[in-house]
């Protein structure tokens, strides 16, 4: 084995800001050439390794020598994480076999077949949100009124969360995972959300329904496994947060990308039934909102491209570099809806592939085949590169997206 010393690219603390809404950070070009680079995380000061490229990342994410456990000392939180972030976790932070067992308690609710049965209800929710938006005088903040609210409504209905509590979920999710949150804000948010979910779990235990929380409770009881209320709370909180933040960001970015590429939008609208599947995959590839959202820890020494990542060190898989790998996606910086495929890794890869991937796909497909049909004059108030973005957040997103239309 060959061990090389790697320095932070340009000595700039990580993560790096994108050059434009859909353009990779300038530092990534050098990092891609190296394959493996050591960087210093801006907030925590932790030295971790970044891995780039489609083949490297897919291989690493199926390698049993890496762990997703937040409890390991080297886990690469790139913000200053309160202790709760190491202990208040769910299957997203477990390894097999614990991950397999815990994920299995709710996996049935997110299969392709189960999600497709929700198509009619999701269509109703999309139309209701468009109706409410059209009742207002433009311009409006599409991100707040539509993108955040819609997937929150869907996941909260699945979980059995009351409609009146949706704003609470959105606010606290932003505080937990936003790039601008302080450790105190994160700690307060996780404490308040835990207290809320604890009450909800108790309610579903006493009065089960047809929702995912009730399904998880029943699955644990039927399995005969030992579990605590905290196990359920952590799982529900993870599904609640993951079920709206990521999809909301993709709806806003995807909508903006289509509006800024009118020739591609016209191609989609000319044959939406044929085009919406590949279009959704291509938008997921180009945006890659979870670029820095796949952290791991090396359990053993791992050699990649001639560099050894020592056991115990943290690793960040830069998904944007995989989705822009020219060996897999020719002209990778171009948005070409017709070439979209599920080869993109926007949802991750391996055993930890996003459990809500099929739900997110369906929501986005219904949004983009309905929105432009019902509001054909929809347009951005200002170019997307002038809209403030969530650089440095776990989920890349926008803080707002002003839109208008002809009244």
DSSP, residue by residue, 346-379? TT--GGGS-TTHHHHHHHHHHHHHHHHHH-TT-E
| pLDDT, mean of residues 59-88 | 86
Calpha distance 364→283 (Å, rounded) = 10
Confidence grade of residue 70 (pLDDT, cut at 50, 70, 90): very high
- Looking at the chain, the whole-number percentage of residues with pLDDT higher than 70 is 94
Q: Is the pLDDT of residue 3 over 60?
A: no
Indicate the DSSP class of residue 40: E
pLDDT in tens, 281-326: 999 999 999 999 899 999 999 999 999 999 999 999 999 999 999 9
Closest CA to 21 of 178, 325, 250, 315: 250
Region for residue 10 given its phi and psi (left: phi exceeds 0; alpha: psi -120 to 50; beta: otherwise): left
Q: Is the pLDDT of residue 1 over 50?
A: no
SS3 71: coil
Output the CA–CA distances (angstroms, integers) from residue 304 to 14, 83, 135, 143, 404, in the order listed. Answer: 20, 31, 55, 40, 48
Element of type H or E holding 309: strand 307-309
Q: What is the pLDDT of residue 177?
A: 58
Quick check: 353 and 344 in contact, CB under 8 A?
no
Measured from the Cβ of residue 3, the count of other Cβ atoms closer than 10 Å reads 11
Calpha distance 90→233 (Å, rounded) = 9
| pLDDT, mean of residues 98-111 | 94
Q: What is the pLDDT of residue 96?
A: 95
Calpha distance 320→280 (Å, rounded) = 16
Quick check: 211 and 161 in contact, CB under 8 A?
no
Q: What is the pLDDT of residue 6?
A: 46
| pLDDT, mean of residues 29-58 | 94
Q: Is the pLDDT of residue 5 over 50?
A: no
- 398: which strand partners? 389
Closest CA to 172 of 196, 201, 202, 141: 196
Quick check: 48 and 41 in contact, CB under 8 A?
yes
Q: Which CATH number fits domain 9-319+332-404: 1.25.40.10, 3.40.50.300, 1.10.630.10, 3.40.50.410?
A: 1.10.630.10
Q: What is the pLDDT of residue 180?
A: 59
* 314 Cβ contact list (under 8 Å, min separation 6): 46, 48, 49, 74, 75, 76, 295, 296, 297, 298
Q: Is the pLDDT of residue 339 over 70?
A: yes
SS3 406: coil
Q: Is the pLDDT of residue 171 over 90?
A: no
Q: What is the pLDDT of residue 146?
A: 96
Q: Is the pLDDT of residue 377 over 90?
A: yes
With tokens 């390894």, the residue in question is 95
pLDDT in tens, 314-337: 999 999 999 999 999 999 999 999
pLDDT in tens, 234-272: 888 888 877 778 999 999 999 999 999 999 999 999 999
Between 178 and 107, the more confident residue is 107
| pLDDT, mean of residues 54-79 | 94
Quick check: 23 and 333 in contact, CB under 8 A?
yes
Please calculate the CA angle 127-133-137 and round it to the nearest 5 degrees: 150
Average pLDDT taken over every residue of the chain: 91
| pLDDT, mean of residues 197-205 | 90
The reply to whether the predicted model has a pTM over 0.85 is: yes
Q: Is the pLDDT of residue 181 over 70?
A: no
| pLDDT, mean of residues 86-95 | 85
Q: What is the pLDDT of residue 165?
A: 80
């Amino acid at each position: 084995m060959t061990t090389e010393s790697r320095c932070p690219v340009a000595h700039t603390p990580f993560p790096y800001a994108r050059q434009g809404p859909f353009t990779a950070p300038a530092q990534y070009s050098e990092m891609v050439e190296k394959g493996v680079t050591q960087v210093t995380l801006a907030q925590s000061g932790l030295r971790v390794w970044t891995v780039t490229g489609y083949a490297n990342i897919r291989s690493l994410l199926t390698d049993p020598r890496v762990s997703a456990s937040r409890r390991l000392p080297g886990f690469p939180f790139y913000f200053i994480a309160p202790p709760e972030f190491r202990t208040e976790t769910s299957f997203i932070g477990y390894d097999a076999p614990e991950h397999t067992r815990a994920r299995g308690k709710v996996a049935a609710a997110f299969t392709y077949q189960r999600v497709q049965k929700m198509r009619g209800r999701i269509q109703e929710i999309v139309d209701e949100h468009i109706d409410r938006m059209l009742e207002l005088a433009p311009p409006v903040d599409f991100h707040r009124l539509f993108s955040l609210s819609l997937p929150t409504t869907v996941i909260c209905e699945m979980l059995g969360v009351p409609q009146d509590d949706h704003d609470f979920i959105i606010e606290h999710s932003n505080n937990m995972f936003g790039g601008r949150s302080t450790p105190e804000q994160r700690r307060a948010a996780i404490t308040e959300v835990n207290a809320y979910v604890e009450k909800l779990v108790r309610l579903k235990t006493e009065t089960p329904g047809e929702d995912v929380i009730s399904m998880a409770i029943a699955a644990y009881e039927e399995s005969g496994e030992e579990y605590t209320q905290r196990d359920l709370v952590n799982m529900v909180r993870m599904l609640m947060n993951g079920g709206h933040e990521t999809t909301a960001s993709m709806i806003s970015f995807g909508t903006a990308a289509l509006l800024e590429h009118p020739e591609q939008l016209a191609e989609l609208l000319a044959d939406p039934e044929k085009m919406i599947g590949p279009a959704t995959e291509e938008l997921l590839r180009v945006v890659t909102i979870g670029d820095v959202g796949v952290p791991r820890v090396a359990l053993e020494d791992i050699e990649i491209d001639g560099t050894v990542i020592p056991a115990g060190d943290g690793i960040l898989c830069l998904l944007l570099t995989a989705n822009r790998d020219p060996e897999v996606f020719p002209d990778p910086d171009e948005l070409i809806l017709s070439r979209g495929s599920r080869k993109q890794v926007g949802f991750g890869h391996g055993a930890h592939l996003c459990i809500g991937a099929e739900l997110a796909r369906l929501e986005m497909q219904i949004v983009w085949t309905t929105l432009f049909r019902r509001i054909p004059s929809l347009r951005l108030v200002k170019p997307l590169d002038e809209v403030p973005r969530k650089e440095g957040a776990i989920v890349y997103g926008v803080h707002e997206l002003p839109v208008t239309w002809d009244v």
